[in-house]
Structures are given as structure tokens and as C-alpha cells.
């Protein structure tokens, strides 16, 4: 079989084909076929076992077993999202806009990732970024951030009140309207 045709087969079909070849070769067939096709010996061995047991691929059947693959970090660490949000909320460099529920922070995903690793949660900066995005956090230094760099004494308190009221209304299914006004200079 040529390589192009082999590559067009799904995983199970490839394994069965490799297993059939290995069985035809006899002694040393697994090693020979693995080297010839550039695949692992374990894959050929599994294919040979499936072939000898009479397995075949039926159109529409799943190629992989259910539950295969890497587990999500949020499944491994059930309180991960809550902990990231706690770290973001505890940070003095976290700001929000009164007109919506978006927030931004001066903390980098790498710093948060390192802090979580120190706490025993092995998560990447990408995982932290995903949780931040899901919760409408952004990591950026923009004009509003510079304006907010010297907040008034009650600025955070105002945002906490607005945030609580917004959540109360949204949980009750009520609309939320926020108007942001600027003082004229």
C-alpha cells in the first residue's frame, strides 16, 4: 500500500493494516513493520492483536475509546477557577469599567501561573488566560488603566457596590443599565 493511501485511513484501520502485515512477516514482523512505516512498535503490536482477534472497523463506529486524552486542569483542580479569581480580586492592580462587567488587571498570566504552582497547582499561563477570558478579565495596559493609576479614596468601594448591584439584578433576571459620566474640565 502506498503512503498516501495509508495516511488516508483512520487510526483503527491503520492499526489493523499494520497488524496484518506484521502477522504475515512472522517472527520480527512487528519491528520490521514499525521501522518501515515509521510508527511505534506498540501501535503495530496492538494492531496485530486486534487483527488476530478478528476485529474490524465498522463505518460510523468511534475510532477512539471514550474518555481518552488529557484531563482538563479544571477537572484535576476543581477549585482552580475560584482560586484564580481570588488572586485577581485580591490584586490592587485589578480594575473594572462601571459600564459593563469587563475587568482588566496588571498581573500577567505567567505570574499567576507561578503563584498557583507554588500552591501545588501545575497550570500553564495559557490555562490561566482561558479562565481569565471566560470571566471577562483582560491583561492590558490601556488608557483607562493609566487614568485609574491614581484612584480616588473611594473608587474601589464604588466599583464593589456597582458590581454587587449588577449581580443582584442579573440573578433576578432584571436588566442592568449603567451610565458612565465624565466631569467636564
Mind listing the pLDDT tens digit for each residue in 45-71? 998 998 898 887 777 777 676 676 788
The pLDDT of residue 181: 74
Distance (Å, whole) CA 119 – CA 150: 31
DSSP H helical segments within the chain, as ranges? Answer: 3-8, 11-25, 29-37, 41-52, 73-76, 80-90, 109-118, 125-134, 143-147, 155-171
Q: What's the confidence (pLDDT) of residue 27?
A: 92
Q: What ranges do the domains of the chain cover?
A: 3-52, 73-170
- How confident is the model over 3-38, as pLDDT tens digits? 788 888 888 888 888 999 999 989 999 999 899 888
- pTM comes to 0.46
Average pLDDT for the chain: 81
Average pLDDT for residues 134-140, to the nearest whole number? 80
Grouping H, G, I as helix, E, B as strand and the rest as coil, residue 105 is: strand
CA atoms within 13 A on the CB side of 178: 19
The percentage of residues in the chain with a pLDDT greater than 90, rounded to a whole number, is: 18
Give 72 or 185, the one with higher predicted confidence.
72
Amino acid at each position: 500500500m502506498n503512503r498516501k493511501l495509508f495516511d488516508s485511513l483512520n487510526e483503527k484501520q491503520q492499526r489493523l493494516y499494520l497488524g496484518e502485515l506484521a502477522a504475515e512477516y512472522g517472527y520480527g514482523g512487528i519491528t520490521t513493520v514499525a521501522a518501515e512505516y515509521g510508527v511505534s512498535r506498540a501501535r503495530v503490536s496492538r494492531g496485530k492483536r486486534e487483527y488476530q482477534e478478528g476485529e474490524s472497523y465498522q463505518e460510523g463506529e468511534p475510532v477512539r475509546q471514550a474518555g481518552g486524552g488529557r484531563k482538563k486542569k479544571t477537572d484535576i483542580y476543581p477549585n482552580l477557577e475560584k482560586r484564580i479569581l481570588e488572586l485577581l480580586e485580591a490584586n490592587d492592580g485589578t480594575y473594572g469599567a462601571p459600564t459593563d462587567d469587563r475587568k482588566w488587571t496588571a498581573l500577567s498570566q505567567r505570574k499567576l501561573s507561578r503563584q498557583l504552582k507554588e500552591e501545588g497547582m501545575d497550570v500553564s499561563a495559557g490555562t490561566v488566560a482561558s479562565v481569565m477570558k471566560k470571566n471577562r478579565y483582560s491583561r492590558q495596559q490601556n488608557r483607562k488603566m493609566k487614568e485609574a493609576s491614581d484612584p480616588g479614596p473611594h473608587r474601589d468601594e464604588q466599583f464593589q457596590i456597582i458590581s454587587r448591584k449588577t449581580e443582584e439584578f442579573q440573578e433576578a433576571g432584571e436588566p442592568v443599565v449603567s451610565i458612565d459620566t465624565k466631569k467636564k474640565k
